[in-house]
Amino acid sequence: MTSSPQQLDMIDLATAGELAAQLRVDSIRSSTSAGSGHPTSSMSAADLMAVLIGRHLRYDWDHPGNDDNDHLIFSKGHASPLLYSMYRAVGVVSEEELMTGYRRQGSRLQGHPTPVLPWVDVATGSLGQGLPDGVGVALAGKYLDRLPYRVWVLCGDSEMAEGSIWEALDKASYYGLSNLIAIVDVNRLGQRGPTELQWDLRAYARRAEAFGARVLTIDGHNLAEIDEALAVAADASGTQPTVVLARTVKGRGFSEVENQEGWHGKPLPADMADRAIAELGGERSLLIRGPLPDPVARTEPATLRSEARTSVPMPSYSPGEKIATRKAYGEALTALGAARPEVVALDGEVSNSTYADQFAKAYPGRYFEMFIAEQQLVAAAVGLGVRHYVPFASTFAAFFTRAYDFIRMAPISQANIRLVGSHGGVEIGADGPSQMALEDLAMMRAVQGSTVLYPSDATSTAALVHAMADRPGVVYMRTTRGAYPVLYDAEEAFPVGGAKLLRSSPADAVTLIGAGVTVHECLTAADLLARDGINVRVVDLYSVKPVDTETLRAAATTTRGRLVVAEDHHPEGGIGSAVAEALSEGNTTATGATGAPGATGATGTLRISHLAVRDLPGSGTTEELLATAGIDARHIEAAARDLLDDR
């Protein structure tokens, strides 16, 4: 077929049928050309997407940043051949790019969609991600932007087994997100065979309705039914999210693979691809734009977002005053919110412990409670970031482990989110090990491009909250349960990537390195050593990633390589690892047990005593647990003396 004129309004259903055939053909062609991909998963949803983009998706393809545009998220990211074929159909991806770029090195048409493409909001491919992210976008639309865009999410039936999908529907119902529409491609077959519910649409409907959704059940290959359902779903005047359950056939359009097991994630061989294209009526070159968004009349700014940066009066604390860093976080975030209307906060139903409740009380319209749903907590932050808000999401540090898949996907989504975990380490005391984050620093350090902060007092916490607001990527702060003395004056600066010398002199014999609670233990240990005339250097490593390599190397040089690292964390991947990695760049280091012998490098012979939580802790007081773990002042003092005895 020849190209049809560009259309800026709804196409008729006959044209939608031709478009669906084109999408199937191009899904086959691109994946066969690449030698990999998921054509059959794409073919099942082609009718759904043809009707959507041709008749219901309000989108200005030439201006993807238009605030009035609808949003389209492929939660079933493996159907990328379909998505990229749609981009070709609307004229933003060329035939050449589709056929020579898909899944190739250096191409923006990656195996699963990412925001390297301006029409993609979030990275998907790890199933169960797109709908939760869509909740965050829809929250912004309804409560912050107050714009009538809709958020359309294509889901696969396999991912309906993911708990994150049901967290998303639950929160979408709670917040009345009638601007959120999930289209579920129920094609019966997963990767290794039939899905859990196969074509039991009644079971899917019961579940979705139980979570508060409005459910529409259709034949996913009947264009008229699709059109009617999407028209109903597009009406966002109600108070429920909509789930469109579409019964489809995997591999639809090519009889040799329709509803056949064993074809998931497999491109068609060239000869089969030729037969499939012929059966589908051959190649097409339709150019379809679909409806544009309606310009929204604005009598006032439609968004809370602002490029203006007014000065932020951070809370001020007096040295010696005992303040928990988690409390300082809440106070600093509330102060930040006064000057930055784009700052929003979320919490996982522990806001009276994380002190996010202070922000909630001050700015209830910019606070979103996610209850005990940590996956949705992080996903909503990602979605809010799509609309350029500055989200801070907080919960107990230990519970971010539940959301780690969303955290690791955030950099792929180019998301800028701020995560704050309180109650880290054995310091929390009697609650016991189920509540003690002892792996969070390692977990967050491993995230691509992440920033990891662990302040020791209220002043540094407030300064770092301010810095987090404009820090790109995944930024994590660990806060402490107990109240500890303020160490710094209000005017002190805390650049990300820095460290502080709390004690130092040219005569220092040992360096004590801590972060958070162990900084205070290091200071007490320094006092104990000073009684015997032993000068020690104390480093507050408040920026765990990036780490202050220059300060660490200078300390190692001055103290002849004698370092004690104390951390309220497992030995793997935390502060000790950050120190060892920093010193290993251009140096030979040794780490391990107390008094481990080292090797000679640019900083001299390095002997690092690494104190960490090595055994399973239990309940007890803070003092008892720090001592039992071997990270209190007495153990730090003893480790320093052991290093000096080795000289």
Q: What residues are labeled active site? A: 374
What dihedral angle (degrees, nearest 10) is formed by the CA atoms of 184, 185, 188, 190? Answer: -90
User: In Å, what is the CA distance from 631 to each residue of 347, 407, 504, 536, 548?
Assistant: 30, 29, 21, 17, 22
405, two tokens: 């898949």
What's the CA gap between 193 and 91, in Å, rounded?
Answer: 36
Name the residue type at position 464: L
Which residue bears the tokens 């007096």?
Answer: 318
d(CA 90, CA 213): 31
CA distance 157 to 140: 27
CB 186 within 8 A of CB 199: yes
What does 595-627 look like in DSSP terms, one character per residue?
T----EETTEE-EEEEE---S---S--HHHHHH
Which of 375, 307, 366, 370 shows the shortest CA–CA distance to 130? 375
- For residues 286 and 6, what is the distance between their CA atoms, to the nearest angstrom? 9
What DSSP designation does 189 have?
B
Structure tokens at 245: 């359950």
- Distance of alpha carbon 139 from alpha carbon 566, whole angstroms: 42
Q: Based on the number of CB atoms within 10 Å of its own CB, is 472 exposed (0-12), middle (13-18) or buried (19 or more)?
A: exposed
Which DSSP string corresponds to 30-80? HHHHHT---HHHHHHTHHHHHHIIIII----TT-TT-TT--EEEESSGGGH
Q: In sequence order, what are the beta bridge partners of 417?
A: 474
Respond yes or no on whether the N-terminal peptide bond of residue 455 is cis (omega within 30° of 0): no
Residue 447 contacts by C-beta under 8 Å, 6 or more apart in sequence?
Answer: 407, 408, 410, 411, 474, 476
Single out the residue of 562, 516, 563, 577 nearest to residue 541, CA to CA: 516
- Return the structure tokens found at 451: 């920033």
**What is the DSSP code string of 465-486?**
HHHHTT--SEEEEE--SSEEE-
562-566/474-478 β-pairing: unpaired
Provide the 3-class DSSP secondary structure of residue 376. Answer: helix
Residues in a beta bridge with 324:
483
Q: What DSSP designation does 537 have?
A: E
* CA pair distance 498, 540, nearest whole angstrom: 9
Calculate the dihedral angle through the C-alpha atoms of 13, 18, 22, 23, rounding to the nearest 10 degrees: 20
Q: Given its phi and psi angles, is residue 140 left (phi above 0), alpha (psi -120 to 50 degrees) or beta?
A: alpha
Tracing tokens 């994380």 back to the chain, one arrives at 354
